[in-house]
Amino acid sequence: MAENWSEDLPDDHQEIYDKPSFTTGTPAPPQAEEQFKQGERYEKGNWLEKNLSKAFELYSEAAAQGHAAAQNRLGQMYNYGQGVNKNIENAVVWYTMSASQGFAEAQFNLGYLFHFNKAIKDSSKALEWYAKAAAQGHVRAQISLEQLQSSQEIPPPIPKPTTSGSDGSADPAEQYKRGDKYFNENDYINAIKCYSNAAEQGYAKAQFALGFMYNFGCGVEKNISKAAEWYGKAAAQGNERAKINLQNLTMPK
């Protein structure tokens, strides 16, 4: 792949892009976690003299052991040329490795790169990664997802036809897990069926998920009133993410 992918992102987006706000991911070995923390000290100049090359070296060691946050930081360093030559191909590789572990910040960063980098702009991929991060409660991803859809750069995702799988166990927890599986496969029709089955049985996580689908138009026509209804039911059971999203909803006039 060409290395001229790294056309500058809009200047007014650099700051918001560069600051992590939400992190999840697969636990890494203790040694990798310490390497990551030491890398942060070198990167930020906390307790140690700032040294981006040393930070890059330590992040690389942690990333090689599967440390999702370190993989994300390597992606950012390649993206901006911090402590290493700028290389957007490598940035995408490391962001993807981290994002594939479920690390929400990397999912957002990857979506942002596909959204704004002119050389690799791909609104469908941007939507996909924004949606994955947004589903974990990543606020900037939720905002970016809504902005991308409302800009009409792309329509809401069209789910692939399928004849399989929203049936099966009626257990709401199992239905919710099935819904998540379909969501991660971008099969939004079956995801909605599973979430609905669980939500109607009072399962709070599924109620939040269904609210999210209506909120952002994932596989269904965007409907803020229905989003508020399902967020409200989840919030009434103490779901904190539902409470936050309900407060942030802009209700139709």
Q: What is the pLDDT of residue 183?
A: 84
**Percent of all residues in the chain with a pLDDT value above 90, rounded to a whole number:** 34
Assess if residue 161 is contained within a domain.
no
Assess if residue 223 is contained within a domain.
yes
Residue 142 structure tokens: 């939720």
Model's pTM, two decimal places? Answer: 0.57
- Same domain as 125, residue 218: no
Q: What is the pLDDT of residue 99?
A: 93
Split into its structural domains, the chain has a count of 2
Assess if residue 194 is contained within a domain.
yes
Residue 97 structure tokens: 């490795």
Residues 138-156: what's their mean pLDDT?
72
Domain residues for the domain of 178 are 172-248
Residue where a domain stops, chosen among 100, 117, 150:
150
Q: What is the pLDDT of residue 250?
A: 62
For the four alpha carbons of 19, 184, 187 and 232, in that order, the dihedral sign comes to negative
Q: What is the pLDDT of residues 9-67, one digit of tens each?
A: 433 333 333 333 334 445 667 899 999 999 999 998 888 899 999 999 999 999 999 99
Residue where a domain stops, chosen among 150, 180, 215:
150
Assess if residue 124 is contained within a domain.
yes
Assess if residue 77 is contained within a domain.
yes
- Same domain as 180, residue 119: no
CB atoms within 10 A of CB 128: 17
Q: What is the pLDDT of residues 165-223, one digit of tens each?
A: 344 456 888 888 888 888 877 788 888 888 888 888 889 999 998 988 888 888 788 88
Assess if residue 63 is contained within a domain.
yes
| Burial environment of residue 82 by CB neighbours within 10 A (0 to 12, 13 to 18, 19 or more) | middle
- Assess contact for 52 and 73: CB atoms under 8 A: no
Assess if residue 156 is contained within a domain.
no
What CATH number is given to the structural domain containing 195? 1.25.40.10
Q: Which residues contact 245 (CB under 8 A, 6 or more apart)?
A: 142, 208, 211, 212, 215, 227, 231
| Burial environment of residue 27 by CB neighbours within 10 A (0 to 12, 13 to 18, 19 or more) | exposed
Q: What is the pLDDT of residue 146?
A: 81
- Same domain as 227, residue 107: no
Assess if residue 106 is contained within a domain.
yes
Half-sphere exposure of residue 123, counting CA atoms within 13 Å on the CB side? 13
- Same domain as 132, residue 16: yes
- Residue of higher predicted confidence among 252 and 147: 147
**Residue 110 scores a pLDDT above 90:** yes
